[in-house]
């Protein structure tokens, strides 16, 4: 690095294809000094961090993984605009660090040639050089370095020594941009680029000069004016010039949509001619070929996928249980301790009944969420997730979705929010919209608390057919129910969205590898933390509001309830009746009773009514709410589990149990279908850029939930259940 | 020349012509599926898994029908 720039803090962009180990490198360079968030207005994850080299702290941006800068998707656009310094939410990088997969250099170099066109100083890292060596792929670093004219480093992103070399390369870099268009387009392509640059881009757009060649190429190969210029006042000028450039190319015997890609690959071939070329095709069948022949098989593929999912969910529930019991114990103990230590009063009530009870109800489901992301990370890390999408494509297309919808839908089992974010990989707007609109039917982890509570309390722990537990079967049934409803909804929606723009399935299947365990655990803890942080904020606020609503106004309990007893047991019952009386007359009770006539036909009472209202903020709040409602007015010493309280809950007027198995099932059906998640609605608003879709989603899902619960409860009663 | 969807697993092919629309052809080419390039069919269960160089591409039957290849 030149002396003037030696101690300047730099902004460094990491660029590369998906699955090249870019994130591993990012983590290795930044350690814990990183921030994960979203780019404003879009659902592309933004990862930034910093690295200290020789006493200077540089900023690192981990740009979204992309195959090309010919931006068709929003993440590609962000990468492109950041690199040309035109993205308003990101600083212009001083240096691009390209991470290429050594085992698939030709394809990875394509992006490298595009970044070079942008005249940004760069370092090229040939990652996974150990794997390339293992597979007998020769990579001639010197030739590549000579051809590209920028520093090229073979690395293994996991290796500490290699990371040190990367740091050194950043420190030593002279920040001189590579020569523009180092792959030098030949005539007539060069002429076409000049034409578009001189007659359209230069006079009519604000793009920086260094972006002109790549923009010109994009206009030529896409055969149309890009979205960026759709509303440009001189749009027809652009169309005319593009048509002119294209006819020039056609006259010269070139295919305008192919000429750029061909020219780039020709250049790449010269760079890697000693490298991997086509060597592989001569080999006999590899292990990877054999695995793919099985897991992408027409019949075996889906069977294997379902088996993997079943195993995964079974493991999640059984592994998570001991951790959940521990957390439960901790919060009960904490509640008791605080209740006994602090003097009785508002603060004591707020802490025990509002904050600790509400928070405990959230944290307890952390183990399940973390195990789920543990498995999802493994499926992604091994490369199987892409196969799952591929295997399901035929089926998904038939029901109006896309093979790529499988990954977002599967992520929806954890949480609809990341699932909806993952839907951005679906290029066609209609496929993407339908995927988003039906995704909240997938049984997300926030429903688990409600399912778990209701099932453990009201579904008998017996075996069906001698070997499957009824409780497990109910769980499984609820998952299938969600999937079936998603399929039906997608099928119906497809009838309304026949815009004919659905894109055919094509995707890269990453090579199989062992998952990186550090990445798996990192992801697991990161997602767990995000869940606690995001859900925790809402739930804490709601718990406090709820505690207030359930505790105020303070009413005098009539003497007929408190003083009519002599025996100990009767006194206990009286105490219960008194708290019930207080709750019924609180603000919360008043709201619950107000909506009770509407939900009564579903088998719900006013307490569930309160829960339904609060759980529109987030489904898991339901359990926290019930916890709060049922612990109000209780002395700290006799904290029993919520499950027991639900079973014991009796209608004070009739003396009958409030909950039956039927009303519990009705409630679970309601939860399976209703749109009860503010975060999901917010993310749909951002993703679709309009309130129309979240509004439609909210109305159709909630209406469907009401109707189905009504059918279940009324039908069940008519059958005498 | 045959459409890609009529090939069988294990066959070595040569991509001849991408007959799909501009956007899809452009995407395929960026992923390395270019006219003149050699490839190998890994599996064909209506949807195709195609090996090109070190890239393994999954292509739907619908798209495969528009890709013309010659057998080696």
Judge whether A193 and A164 are in contact, CB under 8 Å: no
What's residue A228's pLDDT? 64
Gap from B4 CA to chain A (nearest CA, Å) = 13
Which of A108, A505, A511, A512 to mutate: most B Cβ within 10 Å? Answer: A505
Of 1.10.760, 1.10.287, 1.10.3470, 1.10.1060, the CATH number of A189-275 is 1.10.287
What average pLDDT does this structure show over A646-667?
A: 82
What's residue A179's pLDDT? 67
Domain borders along chain B are 2-71
What's residue A633's pLDDT? 46
Confidence tier at A635 by pLDDT (50, 70, 90): very low
User: Among the listed ranges A154-168, A259-273, A507-521, A578-592, which one has the minimum average pLDDT value?
Assistant: A578-592
Of A105, A258, A289, the CB nearest to B42: A289
User: Among the listed ranges A399-413, A473-487, A561-575, A634-648, which one has the minimum average pLDDT value?
Assistant: A561-575
Nearest CA in chain A to B10: A285
User: Among the listed ranges A14-18, A302-306, A409-413, which one has the minimum average pLDDT value?
Assistant: A409-413
Could you report the predicted ipTM of this complex, rounded to two decimals?
A: 0.91
Which of B8, B34, B40, B60 to mutate: most A Cβ within 10 Å? Answer: B60
Cα(A38)–Cα(A94) distance, integer angstroms: 22
Sheet arrangement for strand A56-62: A34-38, A45-53, A56-62, A11-16, A95-101, A122-127, A152-154
A216 membership: H or E segment, kind and range: helix A212-222
Q: Which tokens belong to A290?
A: 């054999």
User: Among the listed ranges A191-195, A262-266, A445-449, which one has the minimum average pLDDT value?
Assistant: A445-449
**pLDDT tens-digit readout, A123-154:** 999 998 888 888 888 888 888 888 888 899 99
Within 8 A of B27 by CB-CB distance, chain A residues are 72, 506
- pLDDT at residue A11 tops 90: yes
- pLDDT at residue A482 tops 80: yes
A11-172, CATH topology level:
Rossmann fold (3.40.50)
A53 membership: H or E segment, kind and range: strand A45-53
What's residue A38's pLDDT? 57
Neighbour tally for A478: CB within 10 Å? 22
**pLDDT tens-digit readout, A30-65:** 886 677 665 655 546 678 899 999 889 999 999 988
CB-based contact B63 A506, cutoff 8 Å: yes
Which of A19, A68, A103, A107 to mutate: most B Cβ within 10 Å? Answer: A107
What is the Cα gyration radius of chain B?
Answer: 10
Neighbour tally for A239: CB within 10 Å? 15
**pLDDT tens-digit readout, A172-228:** 887 776 665 667 788 888 899 999 999 888 888 888 888 898 888 888 887 666 666
Cα(A191)–Cα(A217) distance, integer angstroms: 11
Judge whether A712 and A666 are in contact, CB under 8 Å: yes
Judge whether A107 and A24 are in contact, CB under 8 Å: no
Domain borders along chain A are 11-172, 189-275, 533-628+644-718
What average pLDDT does this structure show over A573-591?
A: 72
Residue A508 touches chain B, beta carbons under 8 Å: yes
Judge whether A126 and A109 are in contact, CB under 8 Å: no
Q: What helix, strand, coil percent values describe chain A, rounded to 5?
A: 65, 5, 30
Residue A258 touches chain B, beta carbons under 8 Å: yes
What's residue A576's pLDDT? 57
What's residue A279's pLDDT? 47
Ramachandran quadrant class, A400 (left: phi over 0; alpha: psi -120 to 50; beta: rest): left
| Complete DSSP assignment for A377-396 | HHHHHHTHHHHHHHHHHHHH
**pLDDT tens-digit readout, A108-119:** 999 999 998 888
Judge whether B40 and B13 are in contact, CB under 8 Å: yes
Cα(A406)–Cα(A409) distance, integer angstroms: 5
What's residue A572's pLDDT? 54
Cα(A123)–Cα(A463) distance, integer angstroms: 62
User: Among the listed ranges A153-162, A498-507, B27-36, which one has the minimum average pLDDT value?
Assistant: A498-507
Q: Which tokens belong to A144?
A: 């590549």
What average pLDDT does this structure show over A432-443?
A: 92
Of these ranges, A398-402, A620-624, A662-666, the one predicted with the greatest mean pLDDT is: A662-666
Residue A133 touches chain B, beta carbons under 8 Å: no
Superfamily of domain B2-71: Ferrous iron transport protein A (FeoA) (2.30.30.90)
Nearest CA in chain B to A383: B56
What is the Cα gyration radius of chain A?
Answer: 30
């Amino acid at each position: 690095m030149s002396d003037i720039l030696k101690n300047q803090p730099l902004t460094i962009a990491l660029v590369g294809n998906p699955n090249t180990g870019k994130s591993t490198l990012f983590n290795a360079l930044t350690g814990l000094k990183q921030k994960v968030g979203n780019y404003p207005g879009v659902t592309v994850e933004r990862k930034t961090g910093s690295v200290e080299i020789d006493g200077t702290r540089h900023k690192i941006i981990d740009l979204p993984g992309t195959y090309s800068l010919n931006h068709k998707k929003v993440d590609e656009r962000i990468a492109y605009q950041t690199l040309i310094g035109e993205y308003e939410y990101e600083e212009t990088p001083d240096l691009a660090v390209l991470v290429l997969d050594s085992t698939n250099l030709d394809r990875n170099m394509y992006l490298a040639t595009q970044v070079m066109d942008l005249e940004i100083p760069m370092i090229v890292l040939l990652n996974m050089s150990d794997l390339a060596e293992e597979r007998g792929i020769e990579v001639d670093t010197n030739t590549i370095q000579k051809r590209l004219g920028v520093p090229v480093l073979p690395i293994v992103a996991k290796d500490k020594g290699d990371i040190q070399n990367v740091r050194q390369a950043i420190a030593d870099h002279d920040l001189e941009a590579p020569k523009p268009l180092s792959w030098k387009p030949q005539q007539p392509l060069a002429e076409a680029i000049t034409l578009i640059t001189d007659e359209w881009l230069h006079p009519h757009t604000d793009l920086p000069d260094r972006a002109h060649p790549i923009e010109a190429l994009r206009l030529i190969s896409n055969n149309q004016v890009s979205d960026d210029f759709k509303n440009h006042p001189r749009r027809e000028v652009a169309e005319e010039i593009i048509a002119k450039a294209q006819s020039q190319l056609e006259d010269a015997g070139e295919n305008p949509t192919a000429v750029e890609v061909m020219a780039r690959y020709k250049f790449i071939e010269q760079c890697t001619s000693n490298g991997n070329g086509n060597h592989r095709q001569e080999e006999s069948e590899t292990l990877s070929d054999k695995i793919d022949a099985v897991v992408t098989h027409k019949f075996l593929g889906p069977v294997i996928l379902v088996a993997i999912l079943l195993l995964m969910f079974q493991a999640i529930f059984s592994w998570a249980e001991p951790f959940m019991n521990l957390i439960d114990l901790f919060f009960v103990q904490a509640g008791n301790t605080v209740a006994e230590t602090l003097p009785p009063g508002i603060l004591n009530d707020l802490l025990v009944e509002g904050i600790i009870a509400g928070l405990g109800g959230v944290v307890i489901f952390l183990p399940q969420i973390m195990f789920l992301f543990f498995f999802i990370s493994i499926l992604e890390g091994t490369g199987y997730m892409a196969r799952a999408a591929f295997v399901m494509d035929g089926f998904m297309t038939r029901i109006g979705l896309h093979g790529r919808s499988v990954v977002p839908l599967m992520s929806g089992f954890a949480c609809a929010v990341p699932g909806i974010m993952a839907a951005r990989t679906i290029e066609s707007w209609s496929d993407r919209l339908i995927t988003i609109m039906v995704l909240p039917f997938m049984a997300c982890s926030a429903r688990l608390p409600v399912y778990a509570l209701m099932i453990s309390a009201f579904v008998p722990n017996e075996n069906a057919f001698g070997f499957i537990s009824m409780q497990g079967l109910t769980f499984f049934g609820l998952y299938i129910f969600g999937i079936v409803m998603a399929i039906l909804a997608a099928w119906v929606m497809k009838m309304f969205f026949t815009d004919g723009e659905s894109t055919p399935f094509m995707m890269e299947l990453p090579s199989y590898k062992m998952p990186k365990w550090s990445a798996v655990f990192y992801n697991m803890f990161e997602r767990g933390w995000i869940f606690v942080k995001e859900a925790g904020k809402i739930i804490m606020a709601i718990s406090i509001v709820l505690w207030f609503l359930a505790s105020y106004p303070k009413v005098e309990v009539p003497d007929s309830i408190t003083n009519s007893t002599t025996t100990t047991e009767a006194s206990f019952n009286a105490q219960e009746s008194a708290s019930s009386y207080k709750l019924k007359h609180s603000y919360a009770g008043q709201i619950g009773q107000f909506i009770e006539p509407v939900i009564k036909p579903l088998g719900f009472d006013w307490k569930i009514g309160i829960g339904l209202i609060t759980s529109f903020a987030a489904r898991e709040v339901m359990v926290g709410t019930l916890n709060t409602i049922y612990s109000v007015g209780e002395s700290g010493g006799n904290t029993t589990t919520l499950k027991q309280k639900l079973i014991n809950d009796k209608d004070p007027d009739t003396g009958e149990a409030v909950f039956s198995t039927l009303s519990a099932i009705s409630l679970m059906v309601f939860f399976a279908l209703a749109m009860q998640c503010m975060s999901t609605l917010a993310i749909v608003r951002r993703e679709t850029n309009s309130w129309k879709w979240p509004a439609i989603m909210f109305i159709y899902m909630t209406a469907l939930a009401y109707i189905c619960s009504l059918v279940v409860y009324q039908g069940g009663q008519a059958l005498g259940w | 020349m045959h459409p890609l969807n009529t090939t069988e697993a294990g066959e070595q092919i040569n991509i001849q012509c991408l007959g799909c629309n501009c956007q899809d052809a452009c995407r395929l080419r960026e992923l390395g599926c270019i006219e003149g390039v050699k490839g190998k069919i890994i599996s064909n269960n209506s949807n195709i898994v195609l090996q090109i160089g070190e890239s393994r591409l999954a292509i739907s039957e619908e798209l495969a029908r528009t890709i013309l290849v010659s057998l080696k």
